[in-house]
Amino acid sequence: DIVMTQSPDSLAVSLGERATINCKSSQSVLYSSNNKNYLVWYQQKAGQPPKVLIYWASTRESGVPDRFSGSGSGTDFTLTISSLQAEDVAVYYCQQYYSIPYTFGQGTKLEI
């Protein structure tokens, strides 16, 4: 199984400041045949299901504010929120879909 490790486990950021969450996979999730990273970022607010923010490591889902961005390749990935808003308080998860079984990071709790 591919192990996904996020850092930090929790993060407190002031309104308007930048938040950065890291995700590391135990093996590369980059398919050489199509040069795509099989990594997605989800946001989960309290009492709600996860919601897709970023897929293919850096493609923003339709309707997601552009303050959210994803970067990285191979085994190291980053989710950045450029200017934190109150509504961004949530737990953020990365997940690889490179191979079965799909695996998630342990989550990063983002607070203000």
Partner 1 sequence: QVQLQESGPGLVKPSETLSLTCTVSGDSVSSGSYYWTWVRQPPGKGLEWIGYIYYSGSTSYNPSLKSRVTISVDTSKNQFSLKLNSVTAADTAVYYCARCRGSLGWFDPWGQGTLVTVSS
CB of 56 to partner 1, least distance (A): 9
- For residue 49, give both structure tokens: 């299901």
- Nearest residue to 84 via CA among 20, 12, 14, 9: 14
CB of 103 to partner 1, least distance (A): 7
CB of 67 to partner 1, least distance (A): 20
Chain contacts with partner 1 (rule: CB under 8 A)? 1, 38, 40, 48-52, 55, 61, 93, 95, 97-107
Chain-centroid distance of CA 61 in Å reads 12
Say which residues have a Cβ less than 8 Å from residue 108's Cβ, sequence separation at least 6.
6, 7, 8, 9, 10, 11, 21, 91, 92, 93
User: Closest CB to partner 1 among 8 and 17?
Assistant: 8
User: Closest CB to partner 1 among 16 and 49?
Assistant: 49
User: Closest CB to partner 1 among 14 and 48?
Assistant: 48
